[in-house]
């Protein structure tokens, strides 16, 4: 009996070419977009230098900047030019070496005086430029602070987006599309016919979930392949762990979809519920875009009940930080608990609703 239902659901999906195309393309499009086009990293920051005396150390620094792929070394300008230079867009940042820069280098008690001016009309770019410059300057001049960027040495932002994207993609496909497909049957009246039949409601629901579960696993494979071969993520031994926790998260999203379908009266409502009630908080509160540590206390507390937060955290640990599997035990247990809770609740509500 279950097999007949699974076959029916599979036929529904296969005959709906548009949906299946969207479902399979979403991960690819999102990954490529975030990985390349929407990159948060800056390249080709134009740098100009103001220095009265061109000393050896200044020349060395200029060489270093020139060699760095993130910077384009423009030229030495006069102090009077700086404002115009930034306004015209000739330079994104200007480094000013004070007159006694060279002398201050010799005396360890004095701090070398360097000024950096940036065009902060785009604060994000300007911050990034300062960050890069500081690390370059620190590396060459001041021995006080050495900066190491661990786990993501190229500071590539595509990396950091992958776990967040995965959290979003699975939720989108599982919860949204499953709930819509169940609610559609309510709307067309076929659900009524199924409920009057001797078919067990649990079969009907489980059969709905299986093909979407398989689709999501396909998506998981796509995402993992893309992150390895397209984004060159250095996942060493974490693949199995990522697959395991993703599978758990897929089941969880499916039961969320079932829950939504019991509440929603029509397809539009199911769509709005999944988009607004599920997707928005997950994007906002999961740490995908905004760091949770910077949020007000209340939002931080709320973020603990967002499943995506735990999932993304775990995937980050495995895929980016390269931590061993045992480091995600907490996340795994929390997700397992949430999944069990949601499966039970949504089946209960589904059963009660038919009365």
Partner 1 sequence: MENIIEVHELTKQFGKFTAVNHISFAVRKGEIFGFLGANGAGKTTAMRMLCGLSHPTSGNGQVAGYDINRQPELIKKHIGYMSQKFSLYDDLTITENIRLFAGIYGMKSVEIKEKSTALLTKLEIEKHRNTLVGALPLGWKQKLAFSVAVFHRPKVVFLDEPTGGVDPATRRQFWEMIYEAAEEGITIFVTTHYMDEAEYCNRVSIMVDGEIKALDTPAQLKETYNAPSMDGVFRALAKTAKRGE
**Contact with partner 1 (CB under 8 A) among 122, 127, 188, 351:** 188
- Segment interacting with partner 1 (CB under 8 A) among 7-15, 82-90, 131-139, 166-174: 7-15
Question: Long-range contacts: 114-119, Cβ < 8 Å, 24+?
Answer: 114/141, 117/82, 117/86, 117/93, 118/86, 118/92, 118/93, 118/94, 119/86, 119/89, 119/91, 119/92, 119/93
Indicate whether 190 belongs to the interface with partner 1 (CB under 8 A). Answer: yes
Pick 10 or 156: Cβ nearer partner 1: 10
- Applying CB under 8 A, which part among 183-191, 256-264, 318-326, 340-348 lies near partner 1? 183-191
Contact between 315 and 245 under an 8 Å Cβ cutoff? The reply is yes
Using left for φ > 0, alpha for ψ between -120 and 50, and beta otherwise, residue 232 falls in: left
What are the Cα distances from residue 6, in Å, to 9, 19, 24, 170?
5, 18, 19, 20
Rounded to a whole number of angstroms, the minimum distance from the CB of residue 2 to partner 1 is 11
Q: Which two tokens stand for residue 71?
A: 């910077």
Question: Which of 69, 189, 291, 296 is the binder for partner 1 (CB under 8 A)?
Answer: 189
Q: Is 18 in the site for partner 1 (CB under 8 A)?
A: no
Provide, rounded to whole angstroms, the least separation between the CB of residue 182 and partner 1. Answer: 14
- Judged by beta carbon, residue 64 or residue 184, the one nearer partner 1 is 184
Nearer to partner 1, 59 or 354 (CB): 354
CA-to-CA dists, residue 261 to 8, 12, 26, 106, 267, angstroms: 19, 17, 22, 72, 9
Q: CA torsion sign, 327 to 330 to 333 to 339? A: negative
Please choose, out of 46-54, 64-72, 182-190, 246-254, the segment that lies near partner 1 by the rule CB under 8 A.
182-190
* Shortest distance (Å) from residue 346 CB to partner 1: 20
Q: Which residue ranges make up the site for partner 1 (CB under 8 A)?
A: 1, 4, 8, 11-12, 15-16, 188-190, 192-199, 354-355
């Amino acid at each position: 009996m279950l097999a007949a239902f699974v076959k029916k659901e599979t036929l529904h999906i296969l005959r709906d070419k548009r949906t299946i195309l969207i479902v399979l393309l979403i991960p690819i499009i999102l990954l490529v977009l975030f990985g390349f086009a929407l990159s948060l990293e800056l390249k080709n920051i134009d740098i100009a230098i103001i220095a009265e005396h061109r000393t050896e150390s200044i020349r060395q620094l200029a060489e270093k900047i020139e060699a760095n792929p993130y910077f384009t070394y423009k030229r030495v300008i006069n102090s009077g030019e700086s404002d115009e230079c930034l306004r015209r867009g000739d330079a994104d940042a200007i480094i000013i070496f004070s007159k006694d820069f060279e002398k201050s280098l010799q005396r360890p008690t004095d701090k070398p005086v360097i000024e950096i001016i940036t065009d902060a009309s785009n604060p994000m770019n300007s911050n990034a430029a300062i960050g890069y410059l500081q690390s370059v300057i620190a590396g060459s001049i001041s021995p006080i602070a050495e900066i190491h960027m661990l786990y993501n040495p190229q500071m590539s932002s595509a990396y950091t987006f992958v776990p967040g994207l995965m959290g979003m993609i699975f939720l989108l496909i599982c919860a949204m599309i499953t709930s819509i497909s169940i609610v559609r049957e309510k709307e067309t009246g076929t659900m009524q016919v199924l409920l009057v039949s001797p078919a067990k409601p649990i079969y009907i629901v489980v059969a709905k979930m299986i093909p979407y579960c398989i689709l999501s696993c396909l998506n998981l494979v796509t995402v993992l392949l893309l992150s390895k071969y397209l984004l060159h993520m250095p996942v060493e031994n974490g693949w199995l762990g990522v697959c395991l926790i993703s599978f758990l998260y897929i089941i969880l999203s499916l039961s969320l979809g079932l829950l939504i379908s019991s509440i929603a009266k029509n397809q539009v409502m199911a769509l709005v519920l999944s988009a607004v009630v599920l997707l928005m908080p997950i994007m906002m509160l999961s740490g995908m875009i905004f760091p949770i540590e910077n949020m007000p206390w209340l939002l931080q507390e709320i973020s603990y009940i967002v499943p995506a937060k735990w999932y993304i955290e775990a995937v980050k640990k495995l895929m980016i930080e390269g931590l061993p599997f045992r480091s995600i035990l907490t996340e795994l247990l929390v997700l397992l608990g949430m999944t069990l809770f949601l499966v039970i609740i949504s089946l209960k509500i589904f059963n009660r609703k038919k009365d």
